Amino acid sequence: MYKIAVLGDYDSIYGFATLGLDTFPVTTHEEAAEELHKLATGGYGIIYITEAWADQLKHEIARYQEEIIPAIIQIPGIAGNTGAGVAGVKKSVEVAVGSDILFSQQ
């Protein structure tokens, strides 16, 4: 069975531990990149990452974009929602169904 991880700044992710998820607080780019790689190759099927850290780790996340596992999902941090996570979901759905079906303007 795959595990679920949450990666980001401490204040944004510590509450996920109460849900039984493994939390990995990071403070530097190098630490975050290393931790992401460990999680992606260490039996984690889902990795939630704060939008702020996902923005800083674009190149590292791209390495896993074509892989089925792990699913790397952006979540808002305590600073608020940047919308980056929603854009990623929209693109994934468009690829899956072959068209722009979400947020169409009529």
pLDDT at residue number 25: 98
Question: How many CB atoms are located within 10 Å of the residue 62 CB?
Answer: 10
pLDDT at residue number 101: 55
pLDDT at residue number 68: 87
Assign domain 3-97 one CATH number from 3.40.50.300, 1.10.10.10, 3.40.50.10580, 2.60.40.10: 3.40.50.10580
Spatial separation of the C-alpha atoms in residues 58 and 67, rounded to whole Å: 15
- Residue holding tokens 């460990």? 38
pLDDT at residue number 7: 98
Spatial separation of the C-alpha atoms in residues 71 and 18, rounded to whole Å: 21
* H or E element in which residue 76 lies: none
Give the pLDDT of the chain (106 residues) as one tens digit per residue.
899 999 999 999 999 999 999 999 999 999 999 999 999 999 999 999 999 999 999 999 999 988 889 999 999 998 877 676 655 555 555 555 555 555 555 5
- Residue holding tokens 């941090």? 77
